[in-house]
Amino acid sequence: MATCKECKNFFPGVRGDCVRRVVDPRQAYHKAKPVEADRDAGDCPDFQRKS
């Protein structure tokens, strides 16, 4: 089972953050959403395993 901490978008901390680059029709930005390190990332479309 893949977990958030194995993803390259995951940044650990007291609480982890999923940080993603988004480019929408008007602007580009980085967004962050708190996630648990051990959360199941199996159904996450943005999961990218750390190399």
Partner 1 sequence: MANPAQLEKEMTEHEQKQEWWWVAEKKRSKRLDYLRKAVWKKGALGGNYAPGIKLDLEMPTLFTNMWRFWKFDPVMLRRAKALAHVLDNISIFITDQAQLVGYMGSLPHTILWRMDGASMVNEEVYNEPGIHEEPEEESLKKVAELNEYWAGQTAIDKVARILDPEDAVKFMSGAIGWGAPSSAYGYSNKNYEYFMTGERGFEGILQEIDRAIEMAEEKTIGVPGPEILSLYDRIQNWEAMKIVMEAAIRFANRYARLARIIAENLESDPKRKEELLRLAETCERVPAKPPRNLQESLQYDFFVQIIARLEASEGAWPSRPDYYHGPYFDRDVNVEKNITREEALDLIGEFMIRTYEVGGFGPRWAREGLQGITGTWVWTIGGVKPDGSDACNDMTIALMQAARLVRVANPTLSFRWHPQVKEEVMRECFECIRQGLGYPNIRHDPIMVANAMHWHGHPIEEARLWVNQACMSPCPPTKHGQQPMRMASATANCAKIIEYALHNGHGHVVNMQMGPKTGDARAFTDFEQLFDAWVKQMEWLFSLLVRTVNLGRYKDPEFYGRPFLSAVSERSVESGLDICSPEGERGNCWITAFTWVENADGLAAVKKLVFDDKKYTMDQLVTALEANWEGHEEMRLDFVRNAPKWGNDDDYVDDVMLRCLRECARFSRELRCPSGNSWPILPENVSGNIHYANIVGALPNGRRLGDALYDGGISPGPGLDKKGPTAVLKSCGKIDHVTDGRAFLLNQRLSPTQLAGEAGYQLWKAYMRTWADLGIDHVQFNVVSDETLRSAQRDPEQYAELIVRVAGYSAHFVDISRKTQDNIIQRTVQGIG
Nearer to partner 1, 30 or 42 (CB): 30
Q: DSSP string covering 8-43, please?
A: TTEE-SSSEEEEEEEE-SS-EEEEEEEE-TT-B-TT
Nearer to partner 1, 1 or 15 (CB): 15
Q: How far is the CB of 48 from partner 1 (least distance, A)?
A: 13
CA dist 45 → 4, 19, 48 (Å): 12, 14, 9
Q: How far is the CB of 40 from partner 1 (least distance, A)?
A: 18
Site residues (vs partner 1, CB under 8 A):
11, 13, 17, 19, 21-22, 24-34
